[in-house]
C-alpha cells in the first residue's frame, strides 16, 4: 500500500488523527516499525493543545528520592483517582514512564538538571515523592517541539488544518476516514487498515475551560461512538479551582495552583477567608477537588466577587517574592490591567481535563471496533475520578508508543477492505446538509450548550438539574438541525454535533453515578458509595439511542495494592497542574 500525496484521495497503513503529544508519538513509532503512516490534525502541527502543558511529566526515576518506584507511582495514581482507574493501564503507564523520559532526552528535550547532571524532579500534589520532570513552566511546548523535530526528521507526512468528520468502515471494520481542508473546504479521503484517534478531550463543552477556542470539542469520542465504540467514565471531568473570569476571551485560562502554594488567600466578597469552613486544617492548600468545590459553593451562595468569581489574593506577599516565584501570573494579570502585588485576582473553577473518553483495552488501546484505536486524553482508563498533575504527559507518551505497536501490528496483517461507495455517498450527503447551516447560529448554539453544561452539569450536580439539562440538550440538537441564514461554517456545525453528543453522554453518566467521588460531586448523593467502584459505559443501541451500562474494575496487582498508602498526601509546596 502506498502513501500517495494526492491531496484528495490517500491511502496508508495507519492513519493517526491528532497532532498533539499522543498522535506525534504514535506516528514516530509506526514509522520505526516500517509501517506507512499519515497524520492529520485540524490545527497547525506545532500548536496542538499539548503545548499548553506547563508543570511537568511524571516518571518514578528516583533521581531525587531513592525510595520511589513505579509501584508507588501506580499506587498514588489509583488512590488519588478514588480507585476508578483501571489498574492494568495504570501499572503499565507507571512501569513505562521512565522509558518515555529517556526517549524525550534522546530527542533533545532540555529537562531541568541538578548541578551533578541528574534530572531534577519536583513534587506535584498527592504524589508521595518527587517524580515530575520539567522544563521551566513550558514542558508541553518543549515536548511538542522535540516530537515535531523527530517527525520531520523521519519525513512522516502530516496534513495540517484538515478536519476529520467521519470514520469509514466496511463489514464492521474501520477502513479509513473522511474529512476536509479547513482552508479550502476540499474533500480528503484516507483509506487505512487502522485508525488511531489521538484527538484530545471534550472540556470545551463547558463555558469556562482551560482549553483554547475550537479545541477539545470531543470530536474523537463522537467519531468513535458513531462507529460503534463504547465511551467510559464520561461524567468524570476534572475542574481546576482557579481559572480567569474576565475578560471574555480569557475566561477559563488557568491560574496556576502555585499561587496558593506560595501563600495565596481565597476571599469571598466580604473579605472572609472562606476555606476555614471547608478545610480548616489545610485551608487554601487543600486538594484540588475540595478547593474547586469551596470556590463554587461561595459563588453560588451569592458571596462571589465582581464578575462572578471569588478573590485570590497574594498582595500580602512581598512584591519581590511575587515577581520571582509567580512571574507568569504577574504578567498574565498585568495584561488585563491588574497588578497582583497590590490587588486580588478574580478566579473561578474551570473545566480542565476529560478523565473519561473512549473505552480501550488497557494494554493495547484497541477499541471494541476492529481497526480502531485511541490514545491520550481522548481515551479513558488511567485517571479514574481525579487526575494527578503530570500524569497526562506521561500517558500520551507511553500510550502513544504502545497504541502504535498494536495498531501497526494489526495493519501489517489486515489489509484495509475497499471503501464502500454507498457509505461514502451517504456521508457526503450528510456533510452537504451540515454545510448548509449558518455559522452564526451554530456558534450561538455552542455558547448556549456551554452555559447549559456549566450550570446543569458543572462542579456540583443533582438529579433535577441533570434531567433538565438533558431536555435542553435535546432542544439544542433540534435547533441545530434547522437550516439557518448566514455564512455557513461546516467546522462549527461539526464541533456542535460532537459537543452535543459528548455533553449528553456526560450528563447521562452523571445521572447514573449516584454518589460523590473525586471530581464527580452530587448534591443529592454527597457520600462515596463503595458499590459504585465501577465504570459507567455509554453505547449506541441498534435503534441509534444512547444506552448506559456499567462494569466492574479488576483489583491492582499485589505489589501495587501493598503500596497504596491510606494517609492523605498534601500539596504544601507542590504544584498540581
Ligand X SMILES: Cc1cc2nc3c(=O)[nH]c(=O)nc-3n(C[C@H](O)[C@H](O)[C@H](O)COP(=O)(O)OP(=O)(O)OC[C@H]3O[C@@H](n4cnc5c(N)ncnc54)[C@H](O)[C@@H]3O)c2cc1C
Active site (catalytic) residues: 240, 260
Helix (H) or strand (E) holding 111: none
- DSSP letters for 321-377: HHHHH-HHHHHHHHTTT--TTTS-EEEEEEEEEE--EE---TTT-B-SSTTEEE-ST
Instruction: Please enumerate in sequence order all residues whose Cβ is within 8 A of that of 115, keeping only pairs 6 or more positions apart, or say none.
Output: none
Question: With respect to ligand X, which residue has the nearer C-beta, 50 or 441?
Answer: 50
Q: Smaller CB distance to ligand X: residue 267 or 431? A: 431
CA pseudo-torsion sign 81, 83, 86, 90: positive
Written as nine digits, the cell of 357 is 473518553
What distance lies between CA 534 and its chain's CA centroid? 21
Q: How far is the CB of 206 from ligand X (least distance, A)?
A: 12
What is the distance between the alpha carbons of residues 70 and 77, in angstroms, rounded to a whole number? 11
Quote the cell numbers at residue 204.
470545551
How many residues make up the chain in this entry? 577
d(CA 576, CA 367): 30
Closer residue to ligand X (CB): 41 or 556: 41
For residue 577, the minimal CB distance to ligand X (Å) is 4
Q: Which long-range contacts (CB under 8 A, 24 or more apart) does 301-309 make?
A: 303/268, 303/269, 303/270, 303/272, 303/274, 304/268, 304/269, 304/348, 305/268, 305/269, 305/344, 305/346, 306/346, 307/245, 307/246, 307/346, 308/245, 308/348, 309/245, 309/346, 309/347, 309/348
Pairing of β 132-133 and β 9-17: unpaired
Pairing of strands 231-232, 237-244: unpaired
Q: How far is the CB of 323 from ligand X (least distance, A)?
A: 22
| Cβ closest to ligand X, residue 75 vs residue 197 | 197
Backbone angles phi, psi at 555, to 5 degrees: -80, 155
User: CB of residue 391 vs ligand X: minimum separation in angstroms?
Assistant: 6
Residues 6+ apart with CB under 8 A from 432: none
Whole-number minimum distance, CB 56 to ligand X, in Å? 5
Smallest gap from residue 111 Cβ to ligand X (A):
13
Identity of the residue, 259 or 317, whose beta carbon is nearer to ligand X in the bound complex: 259
Choice between 105 and 283, CB closer to ligand X: 105
> Based on CB atoms, which residue is closest to ligand X, 358 or 452?
358
Alpha-carbon distance of 45 to 39, in angstroms, equals: 9
> Closest CB to ligand X among 41 and 344?
41
Cα separations in angstroms, 29 against 14, 146, 150, 168, 286: 11, 14, 11, 24, 40
Taking alpha carbons only, the member of 561, 555, 564, 562 closest to residue 88 is 555
CB of 413 to ligand X, least distance (A): 27
Q: In sequence order, what E strands does 93-154 have?
A: 132-133
- State the nearest-atom distance from the C-beta of 125 to ligand X, in Å: 11
Minimum Å gap between C-beta 220 and ligand X is: 6
User: Across the strands, what pairs with 547?
Assistant: 539
Closer CB to ligand X, residue 493 or residue 511?
493
Cell 531513592: give the residue. 66
The single-letter DSSP state of residue 144 is H
- The values of phi and psi at residue 310, to 5°, are -130, 170
Nearer to ligand X, 259 or 275 (CB): 259
- Give the span between the Cα atoms of 380 and 236, in whole angstroms: 10
Q: How far is the CB of 156 from ligand X (least distance, A)?
A: 14
Question: Which residues form the interface with ligand X (CB under 6 A)?
Answer: 17-23, 40-43, 48-50, 52-57, 139-140, 163-164, 198-200, 210-211, 219, 254, 353, 376-378, 389-393, 396, 577
Least Å distance, CB 243 to ligand X, is: 9
Q: 43 or 288: whose CB is closer to ligand X?
A: 43
Q: How many CB atoms lie within 10 A of CB 527?
A: 9
Amino acid at each position: 500500500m502506498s502513501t500517495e500525496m494526492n491531496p484528495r484521495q490517500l491511502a496508508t497503513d495507519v492513519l493517526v488523527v491528532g497532532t498533539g503529544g499522543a498522535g506525534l508519538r504514535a506516528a514516530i513509532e509506526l514509522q520505526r516499525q516500517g509501517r506507512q503512516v499519515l497524520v492529520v490534525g485540524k490545527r497547525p502541527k506545532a500548536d496542538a493543545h499539548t503545548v499548553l502543558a506547563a508543570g511537568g511529566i511524571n516518571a518514578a526515576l528516583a533521581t531525587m528520592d531513592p525510595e520511589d518506584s513505579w509501584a508507588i507511582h501506580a499506587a498514588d495514581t489509583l488512590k488519588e483517582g478514588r480507585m476508578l482507574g483501571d489498574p492494568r493501564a495504570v501499572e503499565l503507564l507507571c512501569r513505562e514512564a521512565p522509558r518515555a523520559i529517556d526517549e524525550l532526552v534522546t530527542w533533545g528535550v532540555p529537562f531541568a538538571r541538578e548541578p551533578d547532571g541528574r534530572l531534577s524532579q519536583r513534587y506535584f500534589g498527592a504524589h508521595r515523592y518527587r517524580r515530575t520532570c520539567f522544563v521551566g513552566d513550558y514542558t508541553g511546548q518543549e515536548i511538542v517541539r522535540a516530537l515535531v523535530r523527530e517527525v520531520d526528521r523521519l519525513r512522516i507526512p502530516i496534513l495540517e488544518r484538515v478536519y476529520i468528520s467521519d470514520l469509514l468502515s466496511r463489514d464492521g471494520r474501520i477502513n479509513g476516514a473522511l474529512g476536509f481542508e479547513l482552508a479550502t473546504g476540499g474533500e480528503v479521503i484516507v483509506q487505512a487498515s487502522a485508525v488511531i484517534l489521538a484527538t484530545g478531550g471534550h472540556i470545551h463543552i463547558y463555558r469556562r475551560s482551560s482549553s483554547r477556542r475550537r479545541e477539545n470539542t470531543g470530536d474523537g469520542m463522537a467519531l468513535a461512538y458513531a462507529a460503534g465504540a463504547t465511551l467510559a467514565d464520561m461524567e468524570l471531568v476534572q475542574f481546576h479551582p482557579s481559572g480567569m473570569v474576565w475578560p471574555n476571551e480569557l475566561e477559563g485560562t488557568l491560574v496556576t495552583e502555585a499561587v496558593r502554594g506560595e501563600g495565596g488567600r481565597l476571599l469571598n466578597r466580604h473579605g472572609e477567608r472562606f476555606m476555614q469552613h471547608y478545610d480548616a486544617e489545610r485551608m487554601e492548600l487543600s486538594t484540588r477537588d475540595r478547593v474547586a468545590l469551596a470556590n463554587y459553593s461561595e459563588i453560588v451562595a451569592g458571596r462571589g466577587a465582581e464578575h462572578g468569581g471569588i478573590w485570590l489574593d497574594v498582595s500580602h506577599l512581598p512584591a519581590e517574592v511575587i515577581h520571582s516565584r509567580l512571574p507568569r501570573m504577574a504578567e498574565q494579570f498585568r495584561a488585563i490591567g491588574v497588578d497582583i502585588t497590590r490587588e486580588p485576582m478574580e478566579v473561578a473553577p474551570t473545566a480542565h481535563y476529560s478523565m473519561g473518553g473512549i473505552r480501550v483495552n488497557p494494554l493495547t488501546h484497541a477499541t471494541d471496533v476492529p481497526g480502531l484505536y485511541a490514545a491520550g486524553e481522548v481515551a479513558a482508563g488511567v485517571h479514574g475520578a481525579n487526575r494527578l498533575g503530570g500524569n497526562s504527559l506521561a500517558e500520551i507518551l507511553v500510550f502513544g508508543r504502545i497504541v502504535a505497536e498494536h495498531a501497526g501490528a494489526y495493519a501489517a496483517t489486515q489489509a484495509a477492505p475497499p471503501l464502500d461507495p454507498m457509505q461514502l455517498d451517504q456521508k457526503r450527503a450528510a456533510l452537504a446538509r451540515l454545510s448548509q447551516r449558518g455559522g452564526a447560529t451554530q456558534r450561538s448554539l455552542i455558547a448556549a450548550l456551554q452555559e447549559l453544561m456549566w450550570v446543569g452539569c458543572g462542579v456540583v450536580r443533582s438529579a433535577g438539574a441533570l434531567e433538565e439539562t438533558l431536555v435542553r440538550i435535546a432542544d439544542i440538537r433540534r435547533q441545530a438541525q434547522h437550516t439557518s441564514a448566514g455564512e455557513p461554517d461546516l467546522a462549527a456545525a461539526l464541533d456542535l454535533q460532537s459537543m452535543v453528543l459528548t455533553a449528553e453522554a456526560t450528563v447521562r453518566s452523571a445521572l447514573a453515578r449516584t454518589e460523590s467521588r473525586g471530581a464527580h460531586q452530587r448534591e443529592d448523593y454527597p457520600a462515596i458509595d463503595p458499590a459504585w467502584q465501577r465504570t459507567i459505559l455509554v453505547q449506541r443501541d441498534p435503534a441509534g439511542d444512547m444506552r448506559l451500562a456499567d462494569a466492574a474494575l479488576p483489583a491492582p496487582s499485589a505489589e501495587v495494592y501493598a503500596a497504596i498508602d491510606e494517609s492523605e498526601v498534601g500539596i504544601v509546596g507542590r504544584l498540581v497542574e
